[in-house]
Amino acid sequence: MNERRALGWVAIGAAVAIAWLALPFVTGLFLGALMAFTLEPVYAPLVRRIRRPVIASLSVVIVSALVIVGAVSVFVSLFVTRAVGLANTVREELRPGGALTAWVDTVTGWLARFGVSPESITERLREGAGEIASRSAGMAGSLASGTFIALLGLFFALLAMHAVLRHWPRMVSALVVVSPLRQEYTRLLLDEFRRVGRMTLFGTVLTGLAQGTLAAIGFWITGLPQAIFFGVATAIASLVPAVGTLLVWVPAGLYLFASGHPVRAVIELGWGALIVVGFSDYVIRPRLVGDEAMPAFLTFVALFGGLEVLGLAGLIVGPVIMGLAVAVLRLYTREAKARRAVQP
């Protein structure tokens, strides 16, 4: 008995040591597991077709890596270029006689009563646009410095993705053996982790793509330049809690107002509110994530808590952890009710 207890403590120490060494890459490993859960419907038919699980898993992982790296590289390069061009355009239109100067003068005219000159506000806006242009040009260096860390995190995410695709049933069996819970409870929690992870990543990505596509259509209808680029920006902004896509289509509508197109501005703002937000959140998202979503309060706690603790990745990791925690509490509640029911 003492030897078994000692071996148990040694096993716990080994698990803690492994977790400590993996801590710098835990977010990447976690996201890799979620990617595996999400892409399993692609992996399983591929295995049945070619009958080589290793090749099927490597194919899914390599294609995923190419898509992620390609999409991020293209967007970052376009973002820096478009940000510099847009800032320079705004700076030119804020010069005397520019299209935005008259609008700023109209909006800020009432400040003259308090001794604030509209011309000074216009000058500050013009200087701010120039500073944005100069700093945007230097963003490439900052992004390059973080490339190695990002690629390292992606590498571990892809490793975890490959491992989960290939060995998830074996992982479940091993955890069932060592878990202090009943076998059915352990399997239930692992199934819940898999379901919530797939639902969260799948719903987040596809809803973002849908919102970006709908936003790009709205930008094209209203004649906003670079509609596709701003559609991609809208898809990325959809990850931000609460405000999300408003960060893109609301400034776009204000820009149309400022440039003398009030009808287009109203159409853009209405399209953003009714289609990009309303249709996506109340029609598309429920069909993707199902009807078993968490209460809104817990969803916001998971999103903002994950963002605060883990950064941008917390927008996906937070809801998964919250969903698993809710499943544990429900399991405990059900067990407690069953135990009370059999007591005299």
Q: Are residues 193 and 339 in the same domain?
A: yes
For residues 221 and 83, state if they share a domain. no
The reply to whether 169 and 251 lie within a common domain is: no
Rounded CA separation 248/236 (Å) = 10
Residues 208 and 133 in one domain: no
User: 312 and 186 in one domain?
Assistant: yes
Indicate the DSSP class of residue 24.
Answer: G
Give pTM, 2 decimals. Answer: 0.69
Amino acid at 186: T
pLDDT of residue 325: 82
In a domain, 17, yes or no: no
| pLDDT score recorded for residue 63 | 92
Whether residues 201 and 68 fall in one domain:
no
Q: How many domains does the chain have?
A: 2
Q: What pLDDT is recorded for position 143?
A: 52
Query: Last residue of some domain: 120, 142, 174?
Result: 174
Instruction: Please tell me whether residues 168 and 229 are part of one structural domain.
Output: no
Q: Are residues 43 and 136 in the same domain?
A: yes
- Model pLDDT, residue 293: 52
**Three-class SS state of 292:** coil
The 3-state DSSP class for residue 96 equals: coil
Separation in Å, CA 295 to CA 99, 280, 334: 46, 18, 19
User: Which of 125, 144, 174 is the last residue before a domain boundary?
Assistant: 174
Domain residue limits at 90:
25-174
Q: Quick check: is 8 in a domain?
A: no
Distance of CA 225 to CAs 72, 82, 147, 278, Å? 22, 11, 30, 24
- The domain boundary, picked from 174, 193, 221, lies at 174
340 and 247 part of one domain: yes
The reply to whether 5 falls in a domain is: no
Per-residue pLDDT at 290: 52
331 and 274, same domain (yes or no): yes
Residue 10 located in a structural domain: no
Can you list the residues of the chain whose pLDDT is less than 50? 133, 137, 291
pLDDT for position 62:
92
Residues 329 and 192 both lie in one domain: yes
**Do 215 and 249 form a contact (C-beta atoms < 8 A)?**
yes
